[in-house]
Structure 1
Amino acid sequence: MITIDGVVGVGKSTLMDIFTKEKGYVAFEEPVVNNPILDKFYYDRERYSFPLQIFFLNERFKHIKKASQQGKAVLDRSIYGDLIFAKMLRDNGEMSEEEFNIYLDLFHNMIQHCKAPALMIYLEVSPEEAMRRIAKRGRDYEQVVEAEYWINLNKEYREYFSQYNFSPVLTINVDNLDFENNPEDKAFVMNQINAKLLELGIEEAIA
């Protein structure tokens, strides 16, 4: 089981598609399409922060249980990365301390029963580039978010993954890479992933 994480707009879904189309990995996509809360959250974060984070936590837990039964699975975003959002919402006063403590208790209970990924791929990007990509893909509910939110999220991600220790991690800076449309950039990214998989002794290296 491989997990791809990073801030909004960094290219997680694109990289996951490469795993599925070229190596036959089973994809577990981030639950955004059928999420009844996500668009409401961006318009009223204080009201919807707690139910949204509980929704994601529960969906992520279900994905991990299913993915653990697959020989080759790739997940878009991690249960560990979800904690970054909850903490930032608490720090910003958009989730109460009581709600955060309930979330944290559930999180710690769940990860005791979660299989850690064989490899965590963290896609790192500057806040400026992330915001450019968010604007380009044009999801209406993301366009109403102030720049400060994305900047703070990027900072929290960098701090969290500098200390992440639940599994092996590969950090790839994608600021100047377009691995969706540029074959050379795609090869550069996949070569790094392939080398890490071989280093870890994971049999199914990515060509």
Structure 2
Amino acid sequence: MSFIRLCTTRLIAGLNGARNGHQMLGIQSLVVNQCKTMIGVERMDPEVLKNKRKPWPYKTKPYYTYWHYLLDLDITPERFDQNTKIVVIEGNKASGKEVVAQALAKEFGLLYLKEPDLEEMYINHNGFDYRSLNKYIDELVHAIDEKMFYENPHHKAVQWLKMFYYYQRFEQYIDALVHLYATGQGIVLERSPYSDFVFTDAMHKCGFLNDDTRDFYFRLRHNTIYDLQRPHLVIYLDVSPEECLRRIKARNIPHEVNSKVLTKEYLQEIENQYKKRYLQEASRHSEVLIYDWNKYGDIDDVVDDIEKIKLDEWDPHLEKFEDWNLWEEDEFEFFRNLYTNKKYKLMQKLSLMPVYDVPSLWVDDEIGEHRDKIYKHMVPNYGITPSFDPSKTSLLTRLLRWRNTSYKEDTDFNCRGPFY
């Protein structure tokens, strides 16, 4: 199996070409020989691994300041190696992303992050499931999940469902960047906030998402997406809608098999958005590989292809990898500080945009107050965050407890309480 390195012209030629046996035509294979690229962990230079700084324990010592850098206590780039990269696996429903992502994580020593699940929003730290209270509140403010969407794509809360997915992907991507900067370990994710619009437009074209919701979504995306750094590598698993439907039927999950959403039309729209928009945009800033995955493929071939791609361009006049072409060492410290210490500010942007001009998302006072009243009286310990354990945190974190607690309370209320 050969790999496909995409530039915009090749991408347009290939994706607009004829499909013959579900294989991509019109894009030439290109092998790039160069000396610095990703490499399997078993083939890495032992001296490189030996001389790396130890990972910063960011989960127990979340605060990183410029003093760590100025006093030479912690220099971020000294943790980086050839595999300090963001890799995203993209594809349609049931395309096989999880298997590929896990295999690449093992081969290259990357942290694997599964696609976000809305249950992370709806089941709080005490194990209480907010969905159990849907029967007491208005349909618009239901805690809606993917299963409910598949069963009833015209449920009023579907308009908010799309926002919740973007919120989840956005936060997960920030967490991935924090991990990369603090440990030097690369990340492999299933999809990302950059490709989330693919599903927004597919839902809209199939009549599941209203015009005003779509408009608000892209305004929100524009206001937040530029705070992130784009992936180094995007891998797209090309699977026909017909094969996706066959796999969905084979795995026999009832709400998927009987879904009013997972139709050939919807899956075709997802494919169209990937090929007509996302992959072209992604190829400007990241390397893109496309594989015909209708009959799956050999992971070893994918690994071999990745090791032939140059993922460390340095040209200030090109868009490729411009998010990662940092001129000075302290720029790495800036981004690390941004994602580590100012995550709450980035997340606040998701809730600062008003929806009073978006009828499909607007929750009037009566509905909102009733929902809040139900939650307050029926959710155990509602509004109370987990206790702060000083024995498991650093002195700096304890001194800045007010800031950490404030962030935890805000996110817990906004993301686990009324959700919006």
1:32 aligns with 2:127: no
Higher helix fraction: Structure 1 or Structure 2? 1
Supply the distance in 2 between the matched residues of 1:195 and 1:64 (Cα, whole angstroms).
26
Supply the distance in 1 between the matched residues of 2:246 and 2:275 (Cα, whole angstroms).
18
Q: Give 3-state SS (helix, strand or coil) of 1:122's partner.
A: strand
1:192 aligns with 2:305: yes
Q: In the TM superposition, what whole-angstrom CA distance separates every residue of 1:14-73 from its partner, at most 9, and x where no partner exists?
A: 111112333321122112372651100111223243222111111111111111122311
1:18 match: 103
Going from structure 1 to structure 2, the CA distance change for 1:23 and 1:168 (only over 3 Å counts) comes to closer
**Conserved in 2, the CA contact under 8 Å of 1:121 and 1:171?**
yes
1:158 match: 275
Q: Give 3-state SS (helix, strand or coil) of 1:170's partner.
A: strand
Aligned residue among 156, 162, 165 for 1:56 = 165
Q: Tell me how far 1:117 sits from its aligned partner.
A: 0.5
Paired amino acid for 1:151:
Q
Supply the distance in 1 between the matched residues of 2:224 and 2:285 (Cα, whole angstroms).
14
**Conserved in 2, the CA contact under 8 Å of 1:2 and 1:119?**
yes
How well do the aligned residues superpose, as a CA RMSD in angstroms? 2.0
**Conserved in 2, the CA contact under 8 Å of 1:53 and 1:82?**
no
TM-score normalised to structure 1 length: 0.84
Q: Give 3-state SS (helix, strand or coil) of 2:291's partner.
A: strand
Count of matched residue pairs: 194
Q: Tell me how far 1:99 sits from its aligned partner.
A: 0.8
Q: Give 3-state SS (helix, strand or coil) of 1:176's partner.
A: coil
Aligned residue among 84, 93, 112 for 2:198 = 84
Higher strand fraction: Structure 1 or Structure 2? 1
Q: In the TM superposition, what whole-angstrom CA distance separates every residue of 1:48-102 from its partner, at most 9, and x where no partner exists?
A: 4322211111111111111112231111112122101111222222211111111
1:146 match: 263
1:44 aligns with 2:158: no
Instruction: Give the % identical residues.
Output: 29
Please identify the structure whose Cα radius of gyration is greater: 2
Going from structure 1 to structure 2, the CA distance change for 1:122 and 1:135 (only over 3 Å counts) comes to same
Q: Tell me how far 1:2 sits from its aligned partner.
A: 1.0
Q: Tell me how far 1:150 sits from its aligned partner.
A: 1.9
**Conserved in 1, the CA contact under 8 Å of 2:163 and 2:217?**
yes
Q: Give 3-state SS (helix, strand or coil) of 2:115's partner.
A: coil
TM-score normalised to structure 2 length: 0.43
Supply the distance in 2 between the matched residues of 1:24 and 1:135 (Cα, whole angstroms).
33
Please, which runs of 5 or more residues in structure 1 have no aligned partner?
179-184, 203-207
